[in-house]
Structure 1
């Protein structure tokens, strides 16, 4: 059996694909298969894949009509035969020792998956940043080199990067738990992650930055396209997963607030031409919550600012009215934050005025002490 199956969904990444594939074919672990699923690319991506395949018999190239990242990934996973599974993004870069390092640790610890660190690469500036969201240092400090599962790290489960490319999975484990990527959506790796995490009995953390995440303006997760609306459905699927695995009640406040925060974050980042459509989808989704049996529980769980943002959607009659209500909610929140800062400064100033500790370091007192 091949040691690691690398699955790479590919769509219109001719500018980055060669660097990505070089980082795979030159891995220090040779015993791998490389399954590339070309998802209807209209650029030279397929030609690049075929060129690599002609020179390396570890490649399998599948060409299909465009179905989306999830469809391509799921198809590649079905074809995988390796003991372990690595899901690679076609515009990113893997450190050359990554598969060997994670494979050896997975074998040594007999785990369902190995979790490791990634680094951000910002193309516009050429900067590499070890950000906390992909470094997960708090979790790393807590677990050390111990084998753990989600029950051992309940205070840290939301600190784990949901991205599949920060993990080496035992392939039979993934098949056993039935984890797949929901098709037709972006940000779908969130759902796959929770299915995997809640089923895993043995996880280990490798404290190494083994993956370079490339950030650029035309990336599907940063471009602000119409698909940003998918975040609404994805948030609901995440909540469904927490309910399925009996983890909802203890995490409902976090999940409800995160749902509001992420939806508005996507609304703010989506292109102006799609904002009204996004608003309509928000209103449809939020109105369902307003009329559901869970509404009282929901409204008691969210912060005041999130309640105001929620109300700005459900009680507006159109997009223009919503924008006014949303702006008002934002200004109210900013005002409240300023009031909080003023109270803090006032308290600190009063503390200084009523303290005599300044006398100890007063220049005049220091001089008097010297010549006393």
Structure 2
């Protein structure tokens, strides 16, 4: 049995496929199988796959008619034989040591799956950058060197990206729980992720950047075409998963707000020619909330913005009305935010004025103290000057006395010298007489 099965669903990525395959065939972990599912590509992708396969017997190329990412991924998983499973996107990049290091860590931790960090690459800007969702620093710090399950993580489960390429899975675990990607939908990795997360008992985190996600305008999740409507079904399936695994009541508030928020985000981002169809599908989904008796349940946990999104969608007679109503609300909300900001600035300004007045009073006190010290200093300077003047006079007097003393010493010396014979001569006379 090989150590890792790498699954690469491939559809019309001739521009990036070579780079992707290079980073897989050159992995430092050699004991791998590479299963490439050509999902009905119409460009040169199949030709590129076959060319690599002819030079590396670890590569298997399977072609099928176009069924989408989910079907291609499921096909690859069915064919996998490795101890671990890695799901690679055909337009992205993986560090050459990624599989070896995550395999060793998964073995060390006996993990159902291992999380690791990822970078972003903007194709248009030719720029690599980090983002909080793919860095998962908060999740990494919480897990540390331990292993956890979703209950240990709490709300942190929503800070883990659903993308499969930021994880290495134990293949026996995947096959035992029978997890699949929902076919026929984009954003399908959401459902795969939650099924895996709720079943995993041993989740580990390898804190290292090992993957680079490529962003470009015409990728499936950025295209803004009719497939964006799939977001509505995906969000409902996600809520169903939480109910299935008994986690709905704990996370209901987050789930309902995420559903409304993400569905509206896709409405904003979908191309203008598809907005009416998206609106019709969204309105039907929201009317179903009423029919199912869940409306009050939503209202009890939705924030004010999402309440307005839901209600304005239900009340709007046309897509245009919904769009204008939302634009008006957002403008009002932004205006309220600006007013709050102005009020906050006014309050801050009042505090600053008080601080300024206080500082100004303190400044006046300091000025008074300074003038006082200046006056005292001037007085001391005058006294010092006076003492210096007196000292100078004393010095002059001492010098005068010293000069007079020197003269006196000289006069005495001269006197002694001139009178010494008068004393010594009588002494000599006396001595002779004796």
- Do they fold alike, i.e. is TM over 0.5? yes
- Corresponding pairs, count: 372
Per-residue CA distance 1:312-359 (angstroms, 9 max, x = gap)? 111111222222222222223223322332332233233333447851
Alignment of 1:95-174 (within 5 A): 95-174=95-174
CA distance in 2 between counterparts of 1:51 and 1:298 reads: 54
CA distance in 1 between counterparts of 2:346 and 2:334 reads: 18
CA distance in 2 between counterparts of 1:185 and 1:51 reads: 30
Q: Secondary structure at the match of 1:307?
A: helix
Q: What is the deviation of 1:176?
A: 1.3
1:241 alignment counterpart: 241
- 8 Å Cα contact 1:70/1:182 also seen in 2: yes
Runs (4+) of structure 1 exceeding 6 A deviation are 360-371
1:338 alignment counterpart: 338
CA distance in 2 between counterparts of 1:369 and 1:102 reads: 71
- 8 Å Cα contact 1:7/1:77 also seen in 2: yes
Relative to structure 1, is the Cα distance of residues 189 and 358 closer, same or farther in structure 2, using a 3 angstrom cutoff? farther
CA distance in 1 between counterparts of 2:26 and 2:144 reads: 30
CA distance in 2 between counterparts of 1:358 and 1:290 reads: 60
Q: Which has the larger radius of gyration?
A: 2
Query: What CA RMSD, in Å, does the superposition of the two structures yield over aligned residues?
Result: 1.8
TM-score (norm 2): 0.83
- Higher RCO (C-alpha 8 Å, min separation 6): 1
Q: What is the deviation of 1:144?
A: 1.2
Relative to structure 1, is the Cα distance of residues 192 and 367 closer, same or farther in structure 2, using a 3 angstrom cutoff? farther
1:42 alignment counterpart: 42
1:273 alignment counterpart: 273
Gaps of 5+ in 2: 374-434
CA distance in 1 between counterparts of 2:361 and 2:167 reads: 55
Relative to structure 1, is the Cα distance of residues 59 and 341 closer, same or farther in structure 2, using a 3 angstrom cutoff? same
Relative to structure 1, is the Cα distance of residues 354 and 179 closer, same or farther in structure 2, using a 3 angstrom cutoff? same
Q: Does 1:352 align with 2:359?
A: no
Q: What is the deviation of 1:362?
A: 7.2
Alignment of 1:155-194 (within 5 A): 155-194=155-194
Q: Secondary structure at the match of 1:86?
A: strand
Q: Secondary structure at the match of 2:184?
A: coil
Q: What is the deviation of 1:108?
A: 0.6
1:65 alignment counterpart: 65
- 8 Å Cα contact 1:309/1:329 also seen in 2: no
CA distance in 1 between counterparts of 2:332 and 2:124 reads: 35
Deviates more, 1:262-271 or 1:75-84: 262-271
Alignment of 1:288-299 (within 5 A): 288-299=288-299
Q: Secondary structure at the match of 2:300?
A: helix
TM-score (norm 1): 0.96
Per-residue CA distance 1:190-242 (angstroms, 9 max, x = gap)? 11101101110001101111000000011111111111111111111111111
Deviates more, 1:131-140 or 1:289-298: 289-298
Relative to structure 1, is the Cα distance of residues 365 and 70 closer, same or farther in structure 2, using a 3 angstrom cutoff? farther
Q: What is the deviation of 1:143?
A: 1.6
CA distance in 2 between counterparts of 1:167 and 1:370 reads: 70
